[in-house]
A and B are shown apart, each in its own frame.
Chain A
């Protein structure tokens, strides 16, 4: 009868488990994994954050891959560079490939020259008056007499007013990297450089990976096409946001696999040593595997995509989920109520992460909750039925007795706790100003070596990371282009003052239609032009009769239809323009990246954001808008959204680094707040479940001490705290509460004979947890290491402190 009574639930439980496992496997197999920074970007951003996020995910900078060909001979590098550029330009995966070769430069020059009268900023209503012509031609003659004279000589007949010289100045000649053997090269001539702009957005990790593979393929082909001797020593290096996300994904995949295997191996060794039973070991792993599977499946269902880092956190689940089966196997009398309460406190901790606006944290919360619940349920309702009738593990009672003796002896020294706590508090106080790391890059999975490579290649290229962007948004392309021109005029003085080194603007290649119209209308009709030119040159050594080519060019320009985006097709300016003028569902956006000025020693001078904002605000003021004043009381470092009403365009000066760090600060503040809610929920839960403030304190005090001492220790060791440390502290409480609850139960339990076994199970469970997190602490991914190095010592301390304090705090009759 007894047998039959159990068979029902056993079969039901097992069947249900099998069904759920199958469903979870199907979900997991169809899951997409990603590894970019998006896990740490807000799901519901503010306007500025939205700009920042779209820049980080899809912006110009996110699509750039810098390629360096290192080693070998200069001529071999140039040959590889040329070969790669040729292949990559044919690939639809790239919108632009530049390596400094002559390809396309002739077309670019032809475009600029053919349209010089609408592109030149010198063309204003006075340009083609008699005085204007005379002045412009005299300037050109002066230039002829200078050492640069021969440069303009060949253009004299067609361009006597020097518009091409003006345009070359505008476009900013001399910004390009050095050239050696016809291709771009690093300053020390050791690397050939190539810049590829991908079609895929930076956030599209798969697309970026394909682009990187295409570059590798082009490199391999180009090298293979060379004679054996020339190939020697050549190597390929790449950097850029896309390269980073692909590398991060690979690293995380490797790390997750490596660390999972390592912590599995260690835990298996630990359990084998304890149980001396293979069946017990295998059964003990069932809840772990079930939990991990349930976690991934839940995240996949909830978010549609699983972030690689979530899997990294998942490793910690191994150490925690295995605890339940340890309790089941070892404790003489399973205290499911206590374990259940432990699971509930953990859930309270992780649930605090669920409402986070950052997908990475919410995923972590959901993963851990579903994983723990699944592991606990499997341990409670499936595993007991699977235990063979002659299930035996080694007797661990001697271990428990030894631990009990040790605890009794050690508790006399528990005053050390007080000293440690005071020392930790002092350390936190001393380091209070440098306690927190407030930079978003603290979360970056990019290794230091990769960051160094990126810095080196950018320096080679003379292309510092774009930090400041002016973002102009409006309803139409014409509206944003017109406003871009106003802002550009406002920025010019900053170049002279040395506040900025320069700026990029799409209107250098395609002025607004209004400006084009203005410039064309400055040109008088052919007869009048001829008369004016005669008069203007009467006092000059250049006779009008020699300038027939000029007259026909300028007449053609006068009647030419307005330039549009399609006129740029076939030039390298097309890609440049497209990266700066973007259309989305809300309208048009133009971007003006600012360049830092350089000091005499060639170092970059930091751009002062408030001066840029003032100049931009003044540029709008000049057009009659007053909206800038409305934001005068905004903090100096805040973006100043500013509307120019009559143009229907908004201008924002975006400091990418500042915005990113502000974003991170918000994120940090939110995590601290959510963690506090989580802790409060745990306290309330314990109060309700234990029905005694004293018992609640007995459970919470050792955990609080563990958190305090770990935080103090991290500060002493010079670690700046990041979000991951805060989450780690939450985990110390969530995991440690299991231990504390057992000691609380022991203190109120009359049945003390089970003590040694309970103690043994706690020590083994704790060892498993410490191993799991300890392995994580060895990760090369900074955020995984931060979590591991917080929780591993924290969990150990939580157990020790719980044991020590359990002996000291009074036993109350309340819960017995």
Chain B
């Protein structure tokens, strides 16, 4: 069940105070963020298809563990992660998944959730972390520690400036990938 696989989130908010430009500083800045609401566009590049499939919608985050992905095109769909339980609504269909039952989904979820929460310890339980760039413009690459558990996931690369995430790229072992680009904040 990789339903959560492409879930990605980002947050735009007022600038946090400046600090040392390293991973801990990024994490600390991210952890200050309690709420975010942005738009997204996602492209999936799949070898079988002549061109990527696109979707778009909105992402919401409330610290420390509520994520929501509202897809608006091509079909309305809502996916909510809260307290380790994922609920999906698609048309008439309603699904509920308890993440504890799907350990293979955990890397996908933790990559996003723990990054947004600035929880470096949680990330390092699942991934090998490599940080490139500076606090002002960074790339955080996550490679699963346990390849058996992570299934088809090869790596996740997050790009951002300061405490804003701009793009999440998920690379699969068969070469297919998805790129999620974060748009501007939605005014509520």
Contacts and interface: CB of A to CB of B under 8 A. Distances in A.
Interface stretch (B11-19, B25-33, B74-82): B74-82
A399 B1 CA distance: 86
A37 interface: no
A171 interface: no
Nearest to A139: B75
Nearest to A547: B48
Contact of B53 (A149, A151, A173, A180): A149
Nearest to B151: A150
A178 B166 CA distance: 36
Contact of A147 (B51, B74, B79): B79
B2 A150 contact: yes
Interface stretch (A334-342, A352-360, A538-546, A802-810): A538-546
B7 interface: yes
Contacts of A542: 48-50
Interface stretch (B95-103, B115-123, B139-147): B95-103
Contact of A146 (B49, B75, B97, B98): B75
Given A169-B93, A178-B100, A147 B53 contact: no
B3 A153 contact: no
Contacts, number: 75
Given A147-B4, A147-B77, A148-B88, A541 B69 contact: no
Contacts of A151: 1-3
A178 B3 contact: no
Contacts of B172: 150
Contact of B92 (A153, A179, A496, A541): A496
Contacts of B74: 142, 145
Given A150-B6, A151-B1, A145 B44 contact: yes
Contacts of B136: none
A388 interface: no
Contacts of A541: 49-51, 53
Contacts of B3: 147-148, 150-151
B134 interface: no
Contact of B6 (A149, A178, A546): A149
Given A151-B1, A153-B46, A153-B176, A145 B53 contact: yes
A543 B48 CA distance: 8
B95 A173 contact: yes
Contacts of A148: 3, 88, 90
Contacts of A149: 5-6, 44, 53, 178
A541 B49 CA distance: 5
B88 A147 contact: yes
A138 to B, nearest CB: 9
Interface in A113-156: 141-142, 144-151, 153, 156
Contacts of A173: 95
B126 to A, nearest CB: 18
Nearest to B97: A174
Interface in A469-519: 496
A145 B42 contact: yes
A157 interface: yes
B54 interface: yes
Interface residues of B, number: 37
B53 A150 contact: no
Interface in A557-593: none
A169 B4 CA distance: 18
A496 B93 CA distance: 10
A150 B93 contact: no
A147 B93 contact: no
A288 B50 CA distance: 94
B71 interface: yes
A546 B50 CA distance: 10
Contacts of B100: 178, 180
Contacts of B95: 173-174
Nearest to A165: B93
Given A145-B42, A148-B3, A169-B93, A543 B50 contact: yes
A142 B42 CA distance: 12
A174 B96 contact: yes
B90 to A, nearest CB: 7
Given A147-B3, A147-B88, A141 B53 contact: yes
B98 A178 contact: yes
A179 B101 contact: yes
A541 B51 CA distance: 6
Nearest to B52: A541
Contacts of A142: 53, 74-75
A151 B4 CA distance: 10
Contacts of B49: 141, 144, 541-542
Nearest to A150: B2
A146 B71 contact: yes
A150 B176 CA distance: 10
A503 B75 CA distance: 28
B149 to A, nearest CB: 13
Nearest to B79: A147
B178 to A, nearest CB: 8
B55 A146 contact: yes
A747 to B, nearest CB: 79
Nearest to A542: B49
A180 B102 CA distance: 9
Interface in A160-206: 169, 173-174, 178-180
A616 to B, nearest CB: 21
A147 B69 contact: yes
Given A169-B93, A174-B97, A147 B50 contact: no
Most buried by B among A142, A151, A156, A496: A142
A542 B172 CA distance: 20
Contacts of A153: 46, 48, 176
A156 B48 contact: yes
Contacts of B44: 144-145, 149
Contact of A150 (B5, B42, B79, B98): B5
A151 B172 CA distance: 13
Nearest to B7: A147
Nearest to A496: B92
A122 to B, nearest CB: 13
B54 A150 contact: no
Nearest to B95: A174
Interface string B29-46: 000000000000010101
Contacts of A150: 2-3, 5-6, 152, 172
B121 to A, nearest CB: 23
Interface string B52-78: 011100000000000001010011010
Contacts of B90: 146, 148
A145 B7 CA distance: 11
A267 B78 CA distance: 75
Given A153-B46, A542-B49, A147 B92 contact: no
Contacts of B152: 150
Contacts of B176: 153
Nearest to A177: B101
Contacts of B71: 145-147
B112 to A, nearest CB: 11
A500 to B, nearest CB: 15
Nearest to B94: A174
19 contacts: A145-B53, A146-B75, A146-B77, A147-B5, A147-B79, A148-B3, A148-B90, A149-B44, A149-B53, A150-B3, A150-B172, A151-B1, A151-B2, A153-B46, A157-B48, A173-B95, A174-B95, A541-B49, A541-B50
Interface of B: 1-7, 42, 44, 46, 48-51, 53-55, 69, 71, 74-75, 77, 79, 88, 90, 92-93, 95-98, 100-101, 152, 172, 176, 178
Given A144-B53, A149-B5, A180-B100, 16 more contacts: A141-B53, A144-B49, A145-B71, A145-B74, A146-B77, A147-B7, A148-B3, A149-B44, A150-B2, A151-B2, A173-B95, A174-B96, A178-B98, A178-B100, A179-B101, A541-B50
Question: Which 9 residue pairs of A and B lie closest in terms of their CB atoms, listed nearest first?
Answer: A145-B53, A145-B55, A150-B2, A541-B50, A148-B3, A541-B49, A179-B101, A541-B51, A150-B5
